[in-house]
Homo-oligomer: A and B are copies of this chain.
Amino acid sequence: MPPGKNWTMEDFRLDPSRPLYEQFTEQIRTMIAKGELEPGTRLPSVRETASSLRVNPTTVMKTYQELERQALLVTYRGQGTFVTREEAAIDRSRKELARTAVNQLKETAKSLGLTPEQLWALALEE
């Protein structure tokens, strides 16, 4: 998303059966982790976002608040919400995403009595 532009519905892949704010949170988080949203970028306002995504403003608020809690966003009163300039926070987020994914795979492997390698092989079978 170029600076100054607004989100569009195509920026997100939404599954109606899961909480919207959760999906927005995850997807913005990975945009930041990947670098698509650069440090210091100003995000569209809650109201703008809500209307462009045709979503309830409280849903957007919840999203931004959650990402603030994770120290990935910072809000300056009266100016808006920005991607943090603390690269450490972003790094931490990247690692956490990676660890979660890897741990889930390890867990699944363990619960089936397999090593991660065996699980990987099983997934590729046939």
Give A contacts to B, CB under 8 Å: 16-20, 30, 33-35, 56, 74-78, 94-95, 97-105, 108-109, 111-114, 119-120, 122-126
Contact = CB atoms under 8 A, between A and B. Distances in A.
Q: Is the interface of A mostly helix, strand, loop or mixed?
A: helix
Contact of A104 (B16, B99, B101): B101
12 contacts: A16-B76, A17-B75, A17-B77, A20-B77, A33-B112, A34-B113, A95-B122, A95-B123, A95-B125, A102-B105, A102-B119, A102-B124
Nearest to A122: B98
B94 A112 contact: yes
A20 to B, nearest CB: 7
Contacts of A120: 98, 102
Given A20-B77, A104-B105, A112 B125 contact: no
Contacts of A125: 95
B75 A99 contact: no
A101 B94 contact: no
A34 B111 contact: yes
A125 B75 CA distance: 30
Among the interface residues A20, A111, A114, which one has the most CB atoms of the partner chain B within 10 A? A111
Nearest to A33: B112
